[in-house]
Structure formats: C-alpha cells, structure tokens
C-alpha cells in the first residue's frame, strides 16, 4: 500500500482550463457587468438565498460554537491528513471497495475512464454514465475527458443538466445555473432535451417534470455512475453525498458500478464529526434546516450486508478515486491551507458584493466567488503576471484582487475560513513571485511596483510625507468647483465614474502646527 | 485623558476636517489631544495590494512613533493612555495586519523578531473614534446638535474587522436635532476597497451605483460614516452625478453644528 502523494511542489493545473479562464478578472467582469439580464437574475437569486440563510442560521443559539467546531475538526484533519487517508483506504478496502490515488486531473480522468471501460464487455461496452453533481469532477474536466473517449456523461442534477444541455459552464458552486431564469431554461429544454413536450411552459413544476421524465429513462439504462463526495469518514470508510433532488441517490443506488472522485481534503476523522457538518452545510448552502437527501455508503454490498436475502442493494463495484491536483501544495502553505477547509456550501458567494454583480463566469474557474479567489490560485498556481502586466497577465493571478476585502465572506463561512486574510496573503505571494521573476535585478517588477516603492519611501518619514502633501496640494489647480473630474492613468480608472475632491488648502498637520504647534 | 491622535494619511492630506473635528470634539469633552508629529501612514494600501516588503518600514515607523507616544513621560514618551484614529479601516490595519506583516517579514528574515509583539502592544491601545468614545470614555451623548436628515453607512472594516456594532448609531441617536434615517442594505460594501477601486474599477462602480441608489431612497441631506476613504468613494459618485447629498465624517457631526468656529 502506498500513499505517497508526491512532494509538495508546484501545483499541477489541469490543461482543460477548468481553473484558468481565458480572460483576467477585470476584463471578464466588465463583460458580465454589461449583461443586464444576468445582473437581474443574480441579484434576485443571491438576495433570496441570503435571506433564507440568515433566517435558519438565526434559529440556532449555538451557531458560533458549531462554526468553531467545524473549523477545529477541519484543522485537525489537515494536521493529520496522511494518517487519516491511510485509515480511510484501509477501511474502504476492508469493506470491499477499491481505492485509487490520482496525483492530478489527467491521472484521475485516466483512472475513471479505465474503470468505466472495465464495467463493459467487448460485445457490450459502456457508452454512457450518469453523474451526481460533483465539484471534483468539474475540476478535472471529467465529462470532456470521457467524451473524447466516446463515453457520454449525463449530469443528473437539474441545474447541472441545464448547464450541460446548453453547452454552458456552471457559474455557482451550488446553483450552477443561477445565471439563468426560467424563461431561458424553458428555451434550453426545447432546444436540447430529447423527446421534450413542445407545449412546455416556463412554470417551475412543468420544467422539473420534463427533466424528471428525461432523467428517469437515463437512470434505468445506466450501468455506471460517477459521483463526488461531501464527506468521507476515515474510521469507517463511509462516503456521503448531500443533495436536494434525490437524483443523486438514484445514481448512487441504481447502477452496478459507482466511481467516486473526491478531493483528499474532504475527510472527517469520525462518524460523530458528521453531526457538526450536517447542521452547518444545509443551513449555509440552501438555507434549509436539513437537506432533503443524505446518502451514505460503506463498502460494497457483497461484504457489508445487502438485503435480507443477501442480494446486493447497491453498486456491486465500488471505487474511490482520491484526488490531489494541487491540494498537497496548498497544504504546504501555512497561511493558505485554510482554503482546504471549504465544504463547498457557497455561502461566501451569496454574500459577496463582487460575485453578486459579476457572477461566476468572470472568475474563469469552476470555483468562483471568494473561496474560488483563494482556492483557484493555490490549486492552479500563480505565475506572477497580474493585470498590471503589459500583456494583461495571467487570469489566475488577478483572482486574489477580485475582492474589496469587505469581509462578508468570513462572517458567512460555516467553517470560519478567514478569506480576507488569505486574499491579502495571496496578493503578497503574487507580488513576491513577480519580483522574483523581474528581468533586470534591482529594477521594479512593474510600474505599480515602482509607485508602491516610492510611496513606501515617502511614508516612512514625516518630513518626506509633509513634502509630498505640499505636492498634492498643487492638485488644487486641476479642480473646478472644488472637484477634479479627470486624472491621468492609472487614476483615470477612478475618475471615469467618480470625482475627486480638491486637496485642502491646509493639511491637518499644517493646521496643527499653526494652531497647536507649541504642543507636542 | 491624554490621547494621541493618529490622523491617518488620507485625513491628513485630503480630509483634514475629520481629524480636526476629532480634536475639537475630544477637547470639548475635556480631554487632552496630542499629535505625534512623526506619524505618517499605517501602510494598509501596501499590505492590501500585496506589497508587504514595502509596507514593512512604514509599519515599523508607525510602531516606533506610537510606542513613543504611549511611553510614560518619565521615560521620555508622550505619556498618552490611548491612540485614536477617525477611521475603522486604519485601526483595523493596525490591529489585524501589523503583527501579521511583522511575522511574515520576520519569517523571511527581513524584520526584527520583536516587532510583532511591539505592534500588538500599540494595537491594543489604538481605538477607532466610536470605540474610544463609547468603550473607553463611556459617553454616548457628546452634547452635539446637528439639525439635518442623515443616513449612516457602516463601513466594512469598522463593522466586520473591528466589530464596532451599533456604537456609531448610538452616538448619532444622541445628537440633538438629528433625523437619522436607516440606510437600506447598509452592510453592503460601497465598492471602495483601496486599490480595488482602480484595479477593478467596473465592479467597484457597480457596487457604488447600488450604494448611491440606497442613499437616495433615504432622501437624506447627509451620508455619514467613520471612514474618510469610503466617504471619498461614495462622495465621488454623489458629486459626479450631482446628487444633492453630501458626505460628512462622523467626527464632524459629533463635533456639533458650528464646530468649525473652534478651528
């Protein structure tokens, strides 16, 4: 048995672009902000879910204690991850399951593909699989990898299905089609769903029934299902999926073969730890006290029981693929590893003023929003070329800056991930990476760097600072009616939409010296 | 009480009235204010933009200046008991970032190992204005009169970094003649975020647009807050759109109508 995950080194980014989008955040955000339908859909959806969450969180007297417990359990998991992973592997294997270790996306995809192929026969190959909504498989681009091998992966979560049918990408961790309204969904079904009733209306119930009819046919024909996992219990080898629709349970129980792809950070040490997370997760994600479907499975049924007559009651062939894909490197950064505590609830997305306005696609990663802005750069790696780079820079490098540091995400996080502090930490890492890569040693890495160095030189001495203030007072010449309407780049980015007041005729320290200068 | 004013670089250079009003208010309440002349900036802009190495000498300088202010006079200091700043954000930087920067830089061998503890000692006695008034000086009615319709924007860092909670509102409610109107979605960020407002100007402006819309629904004459930076952002939008609402720092309201006469 080997559990060597490779030394913590440079994260391995998937080449499928699931973490690194085509545009920098400012460029992608500008496009999104211009889409008035998107703004309306997002504003409505996030404010609704925010209110729901606030209501159910407010019901619990011990919410803060639960958050602290969730944070402590996750910190413990990260501290003992190697031992716990070995324990999980032992327990899954002892109960008839198979455990596979994947260093990166390509390795994980190859393992899943081999397992899917092995589930068929030369005469009767498996040509499609059903999927439970899963972020890990989105992250590795599994659907695309299977499609290249001629295997269709059918998403069975309603929102994922909407995204898949329209050849779109998810824009939210929990509500992947949050950017769509029901009129748009009706049109997607009419255009892309096989055998759909042409008289389809945009009533939510009618749309859900159409999806249900389509999915039932798919479930009954499926031989292989692929899922992710919300939790894995090291002490028992149990895997758990939490969902709202019951479509996940169909996938977990009907097909003969079940392949679960799970990030290595999803572990919990003991069964009793679930108690904390099954309270934290539904209230934070969907704003419900309890999620409608919680499925747990332990080993393959041929060894763990089954029905009364001993026949299997679920997948006969159980596989768990443990995915690293940059997680070990993330774990190595003491200030960044908290990102691995995330339970993918999306509460931070729903409260984020940036996400609410730009939506998820602007982040260019399957992990959008505040948690995406700290997780993506660590999983995919930053290159030190931000938006200030001449060519516009690496999209991933711009993500830590996609926040006003307002702190709403930290307050909403059920496991108390200090996202604002991590954003500040990752910004420092980005700048230090850029400085380490500068072409001419001794020269600043960018114009911004030069300005920051100059400002720091001024601000470490009161004499220099008051001299600079006098220079600033010359700005009064630019003002009309006490306001400045236009400044040269880069400050023009401010004055395109905002005035600047004229600098004062007398600074505070000049006033103090004039009126109270005899004091200290 | 003998109190050192940390004016903040922004108020010093651009919005002196916020710092002046803080002086006038505290003196009217019977306290002695000193202004350590060596002070400059807390370094927050550098830290929040990723330039921690560049921020280090600024942080060291801030700690040197206010450590001296807090030292007893017998030991050559100013002998102040507290440091006050008219900014939740700058106090947040002093309280939550200085020690973090000091430790990171010490790990890189760039800072003295003792800097973090010294920064924490200064931070422990540094207060945002509403904290100083309500928690330290135990006053909510500062005796001010301000007969205007006012709405209050709780700035993100005072709300979520410092947890000032409703202290500014308690101070405002006690101001005579003031008609306080609740701001819808008050706790949403105005979109400033320091260099965020320039690096992500489009998103920042979209956030500002919603803040301005909320301010307008209150039909207030004045929007107030505890941070000159957020007020510069909101005010910059109000000014550009010629909305008939002005921005006034909390300290100026608490100093009371006609406080400028004391200048």
Q: Indicate the domain borders of chain B.
A: 2-136, 149-262
Work out the burial of residue B93: count CB atoms within 10 Å of its CB; fewer than 13 is exposed, 13-18 middle, 19 or more buried.
buried
User: DSSP of A113-150, one letter per residue?
Assistant: HHHHHHTS-SSS---EEEE---HHHHHHTHHHHHHHTT
pLDDT > 70 in chain B, percent: 100
Tell me what pLDDT residue A6 has: 47
Task: Check whether A58 has a pLDDT greater than 90.
Answer: yes
CATH of domain B149-262: 3.40.50
* CA distance linking residue A109 with residue A107, whole number of Å: 5
A462–B54 C-beta distance less than 8 A: no
Question: A265 vs chain B: nearest CA distance in angstroms?
Answer: 26
Q: Which tokens is A395 given?
A: 């999209």
Look up the pTM and report it: 0.95
CB contact under 8 A, A456 and B205: no
Instruction: With beta carbons under 8 A apart, name residues in chain A contacting B64.
Output: none
Q: Residue A259 has what pLDDT?
A: 98
Chain B hits for A353, CB-CB cut-off 8 Å, are: 188-189, 191, 207
Is A307's pLDDT higher than 70? no
Stretch A390-397: mean pLDDT, rounded? 80
Taking only the tens place, the pLDDT of each residue in B158-211 is 999 999 999 999 999 999 999 999 999 999 999 999 999 999 999 999 999 999
Assess A449–B contact: CB distance below 8 Å, yes or no. Answer: yes
| pLDDT for the residue A3 | 46
Judge whether A44 is closer than 8 Å to chain B, CB to CB.
no
For residue A182, what are the CA distances in angstroms to A137, A186, A214, B7?
26, 6, 18, 53
Element housing B16 (H / E): helix B16-28
CB pairs under 8 A between A and B: 208
For the stretch A75-108, pLDDT in tens is 999 999 999 999 999 999 998 999 999 999 999 9
Question: Where in chain A are all domains bearing CATH 3.40.50.10420?
Answer: 60-329
Give the pLDDT confidence score for residue A1 in this predicted structure. Answer: 40
- Chain B residues close to A449, C-beta within 8 Å: 51
Contact list, A483 vs chain B (CB under 8 Å): 239
Indicate the SS3 state at residue B235.
helix
Q: Which CATH class is domain A60-329?
A: alpha beta
pLDDT digits (tens, 9 = 90+) for A407-448: 999 999 999 999 999 999 999 999 999 999 887 877 888 899
**Residue A518's pLDDT band (cuts 50, 70, 90):** confident
Q: What is the pLDDT of residues B199-256, one digit of tens each?
A: 999 999 999 999 999 999 999 999 999 999 999 999 999 999 999 999 999 999 999 9
Subunit contact B13:A472, Cβ cutoff 8 A: yes
Which residue is closest to A449 within chain B, CA to CA?
A: B51
- pLDDT tens digit string along A340-383? 999 999 999 999 999 999 999 999 999 999 999 999 999 999 98
Contact B57 A508 (CB under 8 A): no
Structure confidence by residue, pLDDT tens digits, A462-492: 999 999 999 999 999 999 999 999 999 999 9
pLDDT digits (tens, 9 = 90+) for B27-62: 999 999 999 999 999 999 999 999 999 999 999 999
CB-closest option in A25, A402, A504 to B16 = A504
What pLDDT does residue A301 have?
66
Q: pLDDT value at position A8?
A: 45
Mean pLDDT of the region A233-252: 94
Model confidence at A391, pLDDT cuts 50, 70, 90, reads low
Share of chain A above pLDDT 70, in %: 92
Give bridge partners of residue A321 from the DSSP assignment: A100, A261
Per-residue pLDDT at A264: 98
Contact list in B for residue A408 (CB cut-off 8 A) is 156, 160, 187, 189
Query: In angstroms, how far is the first alpha carbon of chain B from the final one?
Result: 21
pLDDT band at A314 (very low <50, low <70, confident <90, very high): low
ipTM > 0.90 (yes/no): yes
Q: Which of B12, B201, B233 faces A509 most closely, judged by CB atoms? A: B12
Q: Is A271 at the interface with chain B, CB within 8 A? A: no
Give the pLDDT confidence score for residue A312 in this predicted structure: 42
A274-285 and A36-58 helices cross at what angle (nearest 10)? 140
């Amino acid at each position: 048995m080997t559990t060597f995950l490779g030394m913590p080194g440079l994260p391995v980014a998937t080449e499928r672009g699931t973490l690194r989008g085509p545009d920098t955040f400012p460029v992608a955000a500008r496009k999104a902000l211009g889409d008035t339908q998107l703004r309306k859909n997002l504003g409505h959806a996030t404010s609704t879910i925010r209110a729901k969450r606030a209501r159910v969180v407010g019901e619990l007297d011990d919410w803060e204690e639960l958050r602290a417990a969730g944070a402590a359990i996750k910190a413990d998991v990260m501290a003992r991850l190697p031992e716990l992973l070995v324990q999980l592997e032992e327990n899954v294997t002892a109960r008839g399951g198979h455990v596979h270790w994947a260093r990166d996306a390509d390795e994980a995809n190859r393992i899943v593909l081999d397992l899917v192929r092995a589930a068929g026969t030369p005469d009767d190959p498996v040509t499609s699989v059903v999927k439970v909504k899963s972020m890990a498989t989105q992250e590795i681009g599994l659907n695309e990898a299977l499609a290249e091998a001629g295997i269709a992966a059918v998403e069975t979560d309603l929102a994922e299905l909407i995204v898949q049918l329209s050849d779109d990408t998810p824009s939210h961790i929990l509500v992947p089609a949050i950017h769509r309204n029901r009129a748009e969904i009706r049109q997607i079904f009419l255009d892309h769903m096989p055998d759909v009733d042409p008289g389809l209306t945009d009533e939510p119930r009618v749309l859900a029934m159409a999806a249900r009819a389509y999915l039932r046919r798919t479930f009954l024909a499926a031989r292989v299902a692929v899922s992710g996992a919300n939790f894995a219990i090291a002490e028992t080898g149990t895997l758990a999926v939490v969902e709202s629709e019951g479509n996940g349970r169909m996938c977990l129980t009907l097909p003969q073969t079940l392949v679960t792809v799970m990030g290595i950070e999803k572990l919990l040490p003991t069964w009793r730890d679930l108690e904390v997370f099954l309270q934290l997760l539904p209230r934070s994600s969907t704003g419900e006290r309890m999620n409608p479907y919680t499925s747990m499975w332990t080993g393959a049924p041929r060894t763990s029981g089954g029905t009364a007559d001993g026949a299997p009651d679920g997948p006969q062939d159980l596989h768990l693929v443990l995915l690293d894909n940059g997680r070990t490197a993330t774990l190595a950064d003491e200030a960044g590893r908290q990102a691995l505590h995330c339970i993918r609830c999306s509460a931070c997305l729903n409260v984020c003023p940036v996400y609410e306005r730009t939506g998820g696609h602007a982040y260019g990663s399957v992990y959008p929003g505040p948690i995406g802005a700290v997780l993506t750069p660590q999983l995919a790696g930053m290159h030190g070329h931000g938006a200030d780079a001449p060519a516009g820079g690496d999209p991933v490098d711009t993500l830590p800056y996609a926040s006003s540091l307002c702190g709403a995400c930290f307050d909403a996080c059920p496991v108390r991930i200090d996202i604002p502090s991590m954003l500040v930490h990752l910004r420092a890492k980005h700048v230090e990476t850029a400085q380490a890569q500068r072409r001419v040693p001794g020269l600043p890495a960018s114009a911004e760097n030069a300005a920051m160095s100059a400002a720091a030189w001024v601000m470490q001495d009161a004499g220099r600072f008051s001299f600079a203030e006098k220079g600033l007072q010359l700005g009064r010449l630019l003002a009309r009616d006490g306001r400045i309407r236009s400044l040269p780049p880069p400050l023009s980015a401010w004055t395109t939409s905002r005035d600047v007041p004229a600098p004062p005729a007398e600074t505070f320290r000049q006033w103090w010296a004039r009126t109270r200068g005899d004091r200290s | 009480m003998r109190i050192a004013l940390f004016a903040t670089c922004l108020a010093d250079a651009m919005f002196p009235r916020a710092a002046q009003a803080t002086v006038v208010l505290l003196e009217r309440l019977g306290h002695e204010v000193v202004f350590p002349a060596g002070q400059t900036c807390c370094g927050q802009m550098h830290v929040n933009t990723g330039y921690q190495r560049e921020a280090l000498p600024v942080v060291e300088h801030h700690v040197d200046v206010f450590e001296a202010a807090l030292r007893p006079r017998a030991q050559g200091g100013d002998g102040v008991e507290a440091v006050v700043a008219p900014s939740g954000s700058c106090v947040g930087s002093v309280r939550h970032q200085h020690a973090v920067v000091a430790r990171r830089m010490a790990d890189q061998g760039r800072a003295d190992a003792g800097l973090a503890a010294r920064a924490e000692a200064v931070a422990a006695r540094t207060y945002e204005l509403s904290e100083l008034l309500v928690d330290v000086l135990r006053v909510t009615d500062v005796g001010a009169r301000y007969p205007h319709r006012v709405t209050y924007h709780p700035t993100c860092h005072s709300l979520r970094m410092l947890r000032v909670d409703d202290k500014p509102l308690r101070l405002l409610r006690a101001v005579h003649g003031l008609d306080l109107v609740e701001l819808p979605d008050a706790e949403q960020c105005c979109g400033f975020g320091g260099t965020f407002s320039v690096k992500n100007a489009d998103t920042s402006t979209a956030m500002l647009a919603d803040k301005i819309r909320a301010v307008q629904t209150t039909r207030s004459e004045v929007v107030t807050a505890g941070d000159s930076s957020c007020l510069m952002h909101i005010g910059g939008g109000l000014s550009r759109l010629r909305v008939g609402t002005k921005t006034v720092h909390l300290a100026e309201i608490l100093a009371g109508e006609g406080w400028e006469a004391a200048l």
